[in-house]
Amino acid sequence: AQSVTQLDSHVSVSEGTPVLLRCNYSSSYSPSLFWYVQHPNKGLQLLLKYTSAATLVKGINGFEAEFKKSETSFHLTKPSAHMSDAAEYFCVVSDPNNAGNMLTFGGGTRLMVKP
């Protein structure tokens, strides 16, 4: 079975400061990992994905994440927060060997950005 734990349900940062959203996964195989963002009244949007290539993954809007197998972590970072980054972020795992490739979501982290 696979699972995802997002260690913080809420993160608050000031505009222009770094962002760190933490994610740990549990999996018995080499998973595919994703970060999705959900803005109010909008659909989930893919930020970035890890698929067993480079361990440091760059995504849209300046976000990046590093896959650390030894720590079973896939934390999301951004050097400088912008007001428009305020949203709900989901860490997601998928088993590439499962025919359906269903996604298993973490509980989400709400990012608040203060001016």
Partner 1 sequence: DTGVSQDPRHKITKRGQNVTFRCDPISEHNRLYWYRQTLGQGPEFLTYFQNEAQLEKSRLLSDRFSAERPKGSFSTLEIQRTEQGDSAMYLCASSFRQGVVNEQFFGPGTRLTVL
Please tell me the distance from the alpha carbon of residue 28 to that of residue 86, in angstroms, as a whole number.
33
> How is residue 15 written in tokens?
């505009």
For partner 1, which is the closer residue by CB, 6 or 73? 6
Stretch of 19-27, 59-67, 73-81, 98-106 contacting partner 1, by CB under 8 A? 98-106
Helix residue ranges per DSSP H, the chain: none
**90 lies in the binding site for partner 1 (CB under 8 A):** yes
CA 8, 46, 71 angle in degrees (round to 5)?
45
Min CB(15)–partner 1 separation in Å: 25
CA distance 98 to 62: 31
Q: Say whether residue 43 binds partner 1 (CB under 8 A).
A: yes
Q: Does 49 bind partner 1 (CB under 8 A)?
A: yes
Choice from 76, 94, 111, 113 touching partner 1 (CB under 8 A): 94
Closest alpha carbon to 62 in 46, 83, 45, 47: 47
Q: Which residues bind partner 1 (CB under 8 A)?
A: 4, 32, 34, 36, 41-46, 49, 51, 90, 92, 94, 96-97, 99-108
